[in-house]
Amino acid sequence: MKLLYYTDLHAMARRPKHRADDYVRAIMAKLREIYQIAADEAVDFVLFGGDFFDKHRIYSYPLITELMEAVISADVDTMAVIGQHDLKGYNRGSYDASCLAFMEQWCPRWKTLWEPMKFENGVTIVPCHCFDDLDEKISQPPRGRGKKILVAHKLLDKRRQPFPGFLCTSDYDWPYNLVLSGDLHSGYKKHKIGRTILCNPGSVGRPKADDMERMPKVLIVEVEKSINVRSVKLACAAPFEDIYAESALDGLDEPEQIDADEFVDGISSVQSPAVNVFEMVQHVSTDEHDRDVLDYIASKRPSEDVG
């Protein structure tokens, strides 16, 4: 079995504030190259690690159509897991109204992996979406013989980070032959824990200034008696000095503008109860740029709640 893995495309119909180039065209060029690599390598299928879109919905049907055309160009199926940017507030119930669900319905080569998929050669692909419990996937792997591959949209890293995540270390007993992860844009180098290979090639999209010095790449995975993983850099990805605005570094300490409508939509999409407004806001805040809002609201919270 031979497959191609990529993750975190973050397609959008606008130019991020730190980019000076045409981000939409850059994303399209990378996606076309990815599926050309898939065709050239004659892979059996493509795996995607989550966050295909940057938002739950983008309102550009010509762009969505162009994205779908790129996906079907290699004449191979893509099996995907769902990232939080494809949803509202990690809410699985918001998927049906998402751009990703629209693409799954109308793109015959795109399939969301809702359940583990076992192939005739014994290989089992196990999805771990952003709303799934990674600990559960680790503690309850699929039974039976054959190679097992976990595809997870989770913040796995070899290093400790200031945000909540999972360490790719021997702290876990990894019951898989291969773990392919996404979400962490910087990625991490391929390494092995026991018999398990873990790797994240990093985000294909580079929407933010902290993505500057990373060159987008994909992984080619060959599964035989052993598993071989190699990375392929995207030739169309320009060096950071050609795509970022000169003011990008100077503006890193400036607070990011917050989309108030999107924040309110995130609150309204949550169905679980909250004790008060402060706990509600804390519950639905999932993006890093919500931190400014949370800090502001926390400063307004009274020391004791009034009944």
Q: Is the dihedral of CA 202, 204, 205, 209 positive or negative?
A: positive
How many angstroms separate the CA atoms of 193 and 279, rounded?
39
Task: Report the chain's mean pLDDT, rounded to a whole number.
Answer: 84
pLDDT mean over 81-94: 93
- Percent of the chain past pLDDT 90, that is, above it, reads 55
Residues linked to residue 230 through DSSP beta bridges, in sequence order: 220
Task: Note the CATH number of domain 2-242.
Answer: 3.60.21.10
- Model confidence at 234, in pLDDT bands (50, 70, 90)? very high
pLDDT mean over 210-229: 91
Where b means 16+ CB within 10 Å and e means fewer, 46-57 reads: bbbbbbbbbbbb
Q: What contacts 300, CB < 8 A, 6 or more positions away?
A: none
**What would you report as the CA-atom Rg of the chain, rounded to the nearest whole angstrom?**
20
Assign 3-state DSSP to the chain and report helix, strand, coil percentages, each to 5.
30, 20, 50
- From the list 127, 27, 134, 126, the residue with the least C-alpha distance to 82 is 127
**pLDDT for 163:** 66
Residues linked to residue 78 through DSSP beta bridges, in sequence order: 46, 110
Q: What contacts 16, CB < 8 A, 6 or more positions away?
A: 23, 207, 208
- Model confidence at 18, in pLDDT bands (50, 70, 90)? confident
| Chain segment 152-185, per-residue pLDDT in tens | 999 998 877 666 677 776 666 789 999 999 999 9
Alpha helices by DSSP H, 156-248: 240-243
How many angstroms separate the CA atoms of 40 and 109, rounded?
17
| Chain segment 249-280, per-residue pLDDT in tens | 554 445 555 555 555 665 555 555 545 555 55
| Chain segment 121-146, per-residue pLDDT in tens | 999 999 999 999 998 999 888 888 89
- Model confidence at 305, in pLDDT bands (50, 70, 90)? very low
pLDDT mean over 185-195: 90
pLDDT mean over 205-220: 86
Q: Which of 221-235, 240-254, 279-293 has the lowest mean pLDDT?
A: 279-293
Domain residue spans of the chain: 2-242, 260-300
Q: Is the pLDDT of residue 244 over 90?
A: no
- Percent of the chain past pLDDT 70, that is, above it, reads 77
pLDDT mean over 76-93: 94
How many angstroms separate the CA atoms of 198 and 229, rounded?
10
- From the list 217, 244, 184, 233, the residue with the least C-alpha distance to 23 is 244
- From the list 150, 174, 167, 175, the residue with the least C-alpha distance to 5 is 150
Q: Is the pLDDT of residue 307 over 50?
A: no
